[in-house]
Amino acid sequence: MKVKKLAMKKISREEYRDKVLGSWLGRISGDFVGAPLEFRPYCLIRLQYGNVKYYPKPIDLDYVNDDEMYEICALIALEKHGINLSAKDIAREWVNLLYTQNFTAEKKALKNLKAGIQPPSSGRINNIYYDAIGAQMRADIWGQITPGLPKLAEKYAEMDGSISHADIGVQGEVFIALLLSQAFFEEDIKINIDKALNFLPSVRESLYTRMVKLAIHLYKRFPSNYRKARLKLIQHWHNIRRNIILENESKFSERSLKFLNRFISGVHVLPNAGIITLALLYGAEKEDQLGRSICIAASMGLDTDCNCGNIGAILGAQLGAENILPKWKKPLRNTFSTYVKGYEKWKITELAKRISAIGLNILETHNMIEKN
């Protein structure tokens, strides 16, 4: 696979810190837009909210979303072990710091880890959810600490993904990490998506690449109607979901029964990758790109908190905190709650500061700090 090299660029410390903060403000804004709608039937979302335009419910600062806790564990591991940490280092923090709010692939992986099964085996053994959305949802931090260094973002994402996922499940984490890494320098989301695809396997080799390419095609086919594009994308997903089980599995295996269920299959990485891509593309031409893209993703359903969170993180890094509209960041009141032992309450600025410290180390290593 040939990888196109991006021109080496530099960024000031101040701009980098502002973009990391923007990424977390976008991430948490996305959570609060998407969480009330998570896995609600698409028809009910459309009936109740029409086109989502703002936070569906008043923000409860004590509300905890389980998605970000894995990124907090990654941060703690980075602070302990440095930028050359291993998957085992991150996995150890999962075991030490996480409560019981674990689901699908992460729940299975934690059981493996506690039984002494280490990555990458922890992501595959007795884990029917190895290509669900979990790895994709926790990709943000790897792009945040590798601005303009997509190859390094890919390496970190593959390492982290191996703890609980495999195959296209890991590709999902790589794709989001690439989009975020590139967003620090690339202002055109369409170009960003095209560049990220250069790192993924070919369409022939990867259902994930095929799904992203399909979303791009549908956007071009229906440039002003995301609902038509969503319909065609979900129809495609239901046509292929029967084929995602391993070829040698029984027709009535646990995995096949889970993913043949139309509701449970909504946690799979493929349809959600398509929705993320569509939402990024349809929101690109609009004023308030971040808010518009998050709201489109929420309107399209499935794993809305994960999708909206990833989108917010990508576009928040692209815009920077200063350029995010007050209506999205003021209601957050610089507060973030999570399920991580000893780290349950955060100031968003403090979280961004600690992640920025890791990223600045990497930027200095690669001589990418702009001198004053």
Q: For residue 12, tell me if it sits in a domain.
A: no
Q: In terms of residue numbers, what domain contains 220?
A: 23-365
Q: For residue 351, tell me if it sits in a domain.
A: yes
Q: For residue 333, tell me if it sits in a domain.
A: yes
The angle formed by the CA atoms of residues 335, 81 and 94, to the nearest 5 degrees, is 60
* Each residue's pLDDT expressed in tens, for the chain with a length of 372 residues: 343 444 468 999 999 999 999 999 999 999 999 999 998 999 999 999 999 999 999 999 888 888 899 999 999 999 999 999 999 999 999 999 998 888 999 999 999 999 999 999 999 999 999 999 999 999 999 999 999 999 999 999 999 999 999 999 999 999 999 999 999 999 999 999 999 999 999 988 899 999 999 999 999 999 999 999 999 999 999 888 877 665 556 666 777 777 767 667 889 999 999 999 999 999 997 789 999 999 999 999 999 999 999 999 999 999 999 999 999 999 999 999 999 999 999 999 999 999 999 999 999 999 999 876
CB 35 within 8 A of CB 301: no
Pure H helices in 116-225: 134-137, 140-144, 150-161, 168-183, 189-197, 207-221
CB 347 within 8 A of CB 63: no
Which burial class, exposed, middle or buried, applies to 52 when counting CB atoms under 10 A from its CB (0-12, 13-18, 19+)? buried
Q: For residue 343, tell me if it sits in a domain.
A: yes
Name every residue whose Cβ is closer than 8 Å to that of residue 304 and which is 6 or more positions away in sequence: 33, 34, 35, 37, 38, 39, 40, 297, 298
Number of structural domains the chain divides into = 1
Q: For residue 221, tell me if it sits in a domain.
A: yes
Q: For residue 291, tell me if it sits in a domain.
A: yes
Structure tokens at 263: 């509701």
Distance from C-alpha of 217 to C-alpha of 197, rounded to nearest angstrom: 14
Instruction: Give 336's DSSP letter.
Output: E
Distance from C-alpha of 319 to C-alpha of 17, rounded to nearest angstrom: 12
pTM (2 d.p.): 0.95
Nearest to 313 by CA among 35, 25, 74: 25
Q: For residue 4, tell me if it sits in a domain.
A: no
Distance from C-alpha of 198 to C-alpha of 139, rounded to nearest angstrom: 18
Q: For residue 16, tell me if it sits in a domain.
A: no
In this structure, what CATH number is given to the domain that contains residue 78? 1.10.4080.10
Distance from C-alpha of 281 to C-alpha of 277, rounded to nearest angstrom: 6
